[in-house]
Amino acid sequence: MKILHTADWHIGKVLHKQSLQEEHKHFFDWLLKTMADEEVDLLLISGDIFDLANPAAKDRELYYNFLSQLIGTKTSVIITGGNHDSIGVLNAPSEVLSALNIHVIGGATEYPKDELIEIKGGSDSLEVVVAAVPYLRDRDLRHIDTSHKQSSRVEAIREGIKKHYDTLADLSKELYPKVPLIGMGHLYTKGSITSESEREIQIGNTAAIEAKHFSDAYAYMALGHIHRPQVIDKNEFIRYSGSPIALSFSERSDDKIVLIVSIEDGKVLSPNVVPVPKFRALKKVAGSLEKVIEQLDSYKNESTLPAFIEIEVKEDNFSSQVLAQVENLIALHKTDDRFIILKSKVNFKNGSKDTADLFKSGTNVEDLTPQEVFQRKLESENATPEEQATLKEAFSELLEYVHEQEGL
């Protein structure tokens, strides 16, 4: 039996006002071909299917179009909800999809057993059980008790996550003692390396669980949420597939992958890393205005789609002429078929200091995360480091609460 692990598709993602639908289409075509070539029996998608809780019609269409192409193939699918997904949106078609061998677990289920999914092999024998754990929301993990101190609330969330996985491991051992168990998850694990495109969860990532907290019963953990592919705690059986396409400029040099895990004679073998082709290059071009112009002129695009370019012009002395020239440069390349300039920044070493209060000159508020905006606000206040830490945690919790309301 062959299992393909992927996550964090973020269908509908917009990067600096530019839709990523084209790279999603290319990725889906490639994925369908890869699954057919590799004879994949089971596809696991560990959360963040959509970027928004309420996806646009064209994004839902893309999703169903992909799923419809699996009908009639031997591949089963398990889809779990991430922190970006709406439980309702994912679960709405689950009855229909289950008839097509597509299992959807949008949010934590009422009965733990409903998160255990049996997957049969060619000879109709049970070959693997999957603990399809979606993103666990605050209300799935603890009852809010305001008398608790911050540290114990963090502890409560961590314990809640651990208990959820333990319950499923115990249940699986009891019901299917001889069948390998694979876990799914959409969470932050301690020690993982983030990029700029994940939202913080679990009280600003402080309630992270550690790899050692997962029961030994899990032969493989197919994780989602972190967009850089990585192995956790040097254990190749606990890993993030990462997002299949770059979702921010911070991921421009990352290799994007999916994983193929084989089970032979009831044993899970070392996962195979399968690189996803780079359908679009993301590139940063930095230097003096002259250098930037030079690099843009000589740029050769080697990917299928036009590159997305971020430019950063660095000059010594403030000059409104330079600012105007950068604007012209962007306009000049509007019709360039090699690349699209998505983001631009101008830094003057001896810049105009008057704009450097909350937002340094050259920074657009849309390029900052809410946490970064809050951090800058904190820096402009006279708060002690302890006060800042408390305020930051409170801010993270409020932000997560707002995002969770969106996902209901």
Binding site for Mn ion (CB under 5 A): 8, 48
Fill in the amino acid letter for 408: L
Smaller CB separation from Mn ion, 48 or 400: 48
**Whole-angstrom distance, CA of residue 312 vs CA of residue 286:** 5
Task: Classify 124 in phi/psi space as left (phi over 0), alpha (psi -120 to 50) or beta.
Answer: left
Between helix 21-38 and helix 57-68 the angle, nearest 10°, is 10
Closest distance of CB 225 from Mn ion, Å: 5
CB 315 within 8 A of CB 349: yes
Closest distance of CB 240 from Mn ion, Å: 10
Smaller CB separation from Mn ion, 8 or 315: 8
**Whole-angstrom distance, CA of residue 142 vs CA of residue 153:** 8
Smaller CB separation from Mn ion, 148 or 199: 199
In the bound state, the residue with its beta carbon closest to Mn ion is 48
For residue 316, which phi and psi values (nearest 5 degrees)?
Answer: -70, -50
Smaller CB separation from Mn ion, 9 or 339: 9
CA atoms within 13 A on the CB side of 174: 8
Closest distance of CB 407 from Mn ion, Å: 12
Q: Strands, E, within 84-234: which ranges?
A: 102-105, 116-120, 126-131, 181-186, 218-224, 230-232
Smaller CB separation from Mn ion, 81 or 180: 81
The tokens for 185 are: 């998850």
**Whole-angstrom distance, CA of residue 263 vs CA of residue 356:** 57
Smaller CB separation from Mn ion, 198 or 315: 198
Fill in the amino acid letter for 203: I
Closest distance of CB 65 from Mn ion, Å: 21
DSSP, collapsed to helix, strand or coil, labels residue 38 as helix
The tokens for 86 are: 């709406």
Smaller CB separation from Mn ion, 244 or 362: 244
Closest distance of CB 47 from Mn ion, Å: 7
Taking alpha carbons only, the member of 28, 34, 164 closest to residue 109 is 164
- Could you tell me which residues are beta bridge partners of residue 196? none
CB 212 within 8 A of CB 229: no
Closest distance of CB 321 from Mn ion, Å: 42
Smaller CB separation from Mn ion, 8 or 400: 8
Closest distance of CB 197 from Mn ion, Å: 7
The tokens for 144 are: 């809010």
**Whole-angstrom distance, CA of residue 396 vs CA of residue 404:** 12
Closest distance of CB 99 from Mn ion, Å: 28
